[in-house]
Amino acid sequence: MNDAGDNGTDHKRASSADVAALAGVSRATVSRCFTDAATVKSDTRERVLNAARTLGYEPNLLARMLNKQESDIVAVLTSDFANPFQPALMESLTGQLRAEGLIPLLLKGVSSTESADELIQLALSYRVAAIVVTVLNASRRMIARCFEAKVPLIFLNRVAEDTPAISVCSNSRSGARRVAEVLVEGGTTRIGMISGQTGSWTNSMRRGGFRQRLDELGYDVVGHIQGDFSYESGHAAALRLLADSPRIDAIYACNDAMAFGAMDAIRIERGARVPEDVAVIGFDDVPVAAWGAYRLTTIQQPVAPMVDETIRILKQPDRGLSMSERVVLFDGHLVQRNTTRPVALLDGETQDLFPAQGPLKETRNS
């Protein structure tokens, strides 16, 4: 069988040696043109690039990294794209990695409840420089294996306690405490909660911080339904809460997706008003939260600082190996919109109300 194309030429991929021969330079010069152009004279570089274009040559980055025993690939392990926070986080993280000359390798799990161990093993087989994990859990054994292989592992937006992993996340407990204050200061007294999956560090912080602060303020939740951070679970949970406690006047959902589901259940299924009949507050501040259909009051996660810190760690000469066990927390802040009654804002909080509710001038310090 002849592999030649219609014009009689074969499909052999051009090599750096082919480019060097056509340009009349050494292979080392070709390599420098694609890796460190500043060390090559401009006319020589132009001649090499013209030769590369003529031959259809593209440098083999994987081979180059193997030769240098140094990788610029960062594996990013994630799941749960039905939760609108994850795509927003991935867009920011992968964009920043590329801007810094790092190559993101996205590996997506099937479910947020699965272990990341198999994906971590796959990432290690690609000789990656580091691994960033969001949403998923991993075993202590696999986390330790990464550091034994000199591959740092960073958990983004959660904490892996008692492991060598580096953790960069928002202070979900303090954000959840603020949620309790907003609902109580807004005059609601019969408060329900929709939490996420048990066993999740994020859920534990958002649930525990809320209940602790509510107790300090002299209140308790009148109903608590466990969801799974999805819109559908928030919708179903809100209907159950309203059926079990008809006089409920506020619902705290531990993420925005569940809050959206709760709002639609309240307004569409029950024909009630938000916030006049039932106030709703979420957590994350995903882009949809600002849309006119929802205008959700929520706690904004500090995505930019978290991603910046992750990049700072990865830009260290050792990609962060020396930072093992470090936990970095960033505070989020309240974004007050139209699904709760207005309260006085703390420093750093923002207001995004529709004009009908008017501006709130007072600001108080924490």
Q: What are the angstrom distances between the C-alpha of 278 and each of 51, 142, 252, 264, 345?
A: 68, 45, 10, 12, 21
Does residue 310 contact residue 281 with C-beta atoms inside 8 Å? Answer: no
Q: For 153-163, what is each residue's pLDDT tens digit? A: 999 998 988 89
With 50 as the cut, is the pLDDT of residue 207 above it?
Answer: yes
Please tell me which of 14-23, 96-105, 183-192 the model is most confident about, judged by mean pLDDT.
183-192
Q: How does DSSP classify residue 323?
A: G
pLDDT for residue 174: 97
With 50 as the cut, is the pLDDT of residue 33 above it?
Answer: yes
Place of tokens 């590369």: 52
pLDDT for residue 70: 63
Q: For 293-334, what is each residue's pLDDT tens digit? A: 999 999 999 999 999 999 999 999 999 999 999 999 999 999
* Token digits of residue 164: 């060598």
Q: Under 8 Å CB-to-CB from 138, ≥6 apart: which residues?
A: 115, 116, 117, 120, 153, 160, 165
pLDDT for residue 32: 79
Q: CATH second-level architecture of 172-300+332-357?
A: 3-Layer(aba) Sandwich (3.40)
Residue 246 pairs in a beta bridge with none
Work out the average pLDDT over 69-93. Answer: 88
Q: Which of 324, 362, 329 minimizes the C-alpha distance to 345?
A: 362
User: What is d(CA 30, CA 147) in angstroms, rounded to the nearest whole number?
Assistant: 35
Q: Of residues 38 and 115, which shows the higher confidence score?
A: 115
Mean pLDDT, rounded, of the chain: 88
How many other C-beta atoms are found inside a 10 Å radius of the C-beta of residue 131? 27
Q: Where in the chain is the domain with CATH 3.40.50.2300?
A: 68-157+304-330, 172-300+332-357
Q: For 334-366, what is each residue's pLDDT tens digit? A: 999 999 999 999 999 999 987 654 444 454 554
Q: 9 falls in which pLDDT band (50, 70, 90)?
A: very low
Q: Where in the chain is the domain with CATH 1.10.260?
A: 16-59
With 70 as the cut, is the pLDDT of residue 235 above it?
Answer: yes
pLDDT for residue 6: 45
CATH of 68-157+304-330, picked from 3.40.50.300, 3.40.50.2300, 1.25.40.340, 3.40.50.11540, is 3.40.50.2300
Radius of gyration of the chain (CA): 26
**According to the CATH classification, is domain 16-59 in 3.30.70?**
no
With 80 as the cut, is the pLDDT of residue 242 above it?
Answer: yes
> Nearest 5°: CA angle at 136, between 224 and 239?
25
